[in-house]
Amino acid sequence: MPLLAIAVLAAGTYAFRLAGPVFRNRVRIPDRLQRLLSVATAVLLTALVATAALTQGHGFAGWARPAGVLVGGVLALRRAPFPVVIVAAAATTAGLRLAGIA
Amino acid sequence: MLVDMRSFWRTLDRGSLRDIALVCLADAIVGASFGAITVSGGLRPWVPITMSVFVFAGGAQFAAAGVVLAGGSPAAAVLAGLILNARLLPYGFTVADTVGGRWWTRLLGAQLITDESVAFTMRQHEPGRRHITFWTCGLALFGCWNVAVVLGVLAGAVLRNTGSFGLDAAFPTVLLALVLPSLAHRGTRHAALAGAILAVAATPFLPAGVPVLLALGGLVLAGRPAATVADTNPALEVR
């Protein structure tokens, strides 16, 4: 990841943050835009989960990785503590690989 | 410190302090995972550390690094990160009153605006309490997050064969745990599922990073949006 990319991401992010404290008396964010932004966040994160869990390069990632993510997801839904969720996911994937399932 | 300790203890009750500490702990684990996963995935150690200090937004950091690690272009990585961080824009207006009136407190305070610091601040209504809650939570998170990322980087440098440890499953799982609460709303869930299917289906044909952006097409299925921002905020409990 080049330094320029990090700098652009950091500067843009900081601009989003600073706008409120600087312009709060002059501008109002419409409710519709607020809701659109929060739904867009959920859509992007979910797409990242799906592609990172299922794909590798342009193909299928194999069964071990999505199986681990699935175990983690079920534990998260059942409100398991965060470290347990992550360790269980990684352990499932590692275990399946150890058993010869890619 | 920005406040003297006596008024600090008077205004910030034990319950809030405990909650902030718990969120810091959860964030530290995410930060350590970020450092470990990115470095063991092949990024240079300074990359996750620089991102954590200057971007300071877990979701966007994971997203941008994920796109790059998958072979995507830096432009796609930056775009994905910026779209995720656009939600900080309304946050800034929500907590604008707490960062103070001086130009330097605004410049510093702005960097501390995160899902968590805003969520904690919104629970308080009295101006003094809002002020102390925002700064305490923001500074504590900034410290924990960055220290944890450095520790994660050190750990990740030791782990070479990440596949056999299942670390590649940890990255999507972190994101999944973050996004799950916001999928409780039906419209959001439909949009997110449609977007995910779109992204996976497009992966064999498009350059890395682009399918995730294509997922935004799922937004047309969002229907009537959630009643409040808090309903759809991902990561209000964990970053």
Instruction: Inform me whether the C-beta atom of residue A99 falls under 8 Å from chain B C-beta atoms.
Output: no
Comparing CA positions, the residue from B167, B145, B169 lying closest to residue B156 is B167
Structure ipTM: 0.87
Q: Is B166 left (phi over 0), alpha (psi -120 to 50) or beta?
A: left
Tens of pLDDT, residue by residue over A49-97, are: 999 899 988 889 999 999 999 999 999 999 988 788 888 999 999 999 9
Find, in chain B, the residue whose alpha carbon is nearest to that of A79.
B177
Res. B9: pLDDT tops 60: no
Choose the most confident range, by mean pLDDT, from A91-95, B115-119, B225-229: A91-95
Interface test with B, best of A26, A35, A45, A58 (most B CBs within 10 A): A45
Contacts of B135 (CB under 8 A, 6+ apart): B2, B3, B98, B109, B112
Asked if residue A72 lies in contact with residue A40, where contact means CB atoms within 8 angstroms, the answer is no
Contacts of B90 (CB under 8 A, 6+ apart): A20, A29, A33, A34, A37, B229
Instruction: Give the angle subtended at the CA of B227 by the CAs of B222 and B228, to the nearest 5°.
Output: 110
Interface test with A, best of B168, B182, B190, B197 (most A CBs within 10 A): B168
Tens of pLDDT, residue by residue over B142-200, are: 999 999 999 999 998 887 666 778 878 887 888 888 788 889 989 999 999 999 999 99
Whether B226 and A93 lie within 8 Å, measured CB to CB? no
DSSP state of B224: S
Res. B231: pLDDT tops 50: no
